[in-house]
Amino acid sequence: MLLTRLLIALIPTILIEWGVLLMLGERQRRVLWASVLINVLTNVPLNLYAIHYGISPIGIAVGETLVVAVEAMGYYWLIRDFRKALVYSFLCNAISFLIGCLVQLLFLLIRNMFIHF
């Protein structure tokens, strides 16, 4: 159950962030594959924390800020361009976070539609 929940969060995040990197013009395989490792190192701990302790809007903001910082360092280590690393990290995380929020809202809407019928 826990592994399933983590994978449900991790796999779409990886796919979305790969898409964002590709749209930003990134074609280096080592950067694309490193994004998988970077996401495992950031997404899994953040979701474990959220699952076990819950998370408030402030907690989400703090957690996502830490994730952006850690991922930016990971990208910087590979591409040696701080601005580009920060843009990659910020856009990847912002877009995957917003898509995740939209998907959750859609599921709630659908669930509520079926509950009322």
Domain boundaries, the chain: 2-115
Segment 12-41, tens digit of pLDDT: 999 999 999 999 999 999 999 999 999 999
pLDDT band at 117 (very low <50, low <70, confident <90, very high): low
- What CA–CA distances, in Å, run from 79 to 51, 54, 69? 33, 35, 15
Question: What one-letter code names the amino acid at 21?
Answer: L
Model pTM?
0.91
Residue type, 50: A
On the 0-12 / 13-18 / 19+ scale of CB atoms within 10 A, 63 is middle
The single-letter code of the amino acid at 97 is F
Mean pLDDT of the chain: 95
Q: What is the pLDDT of residue 114?
A: 86
Q: Per-residue pLDDT averaged across 90-113, rounded?
A: 95
pLDDT of 116 above 80: no
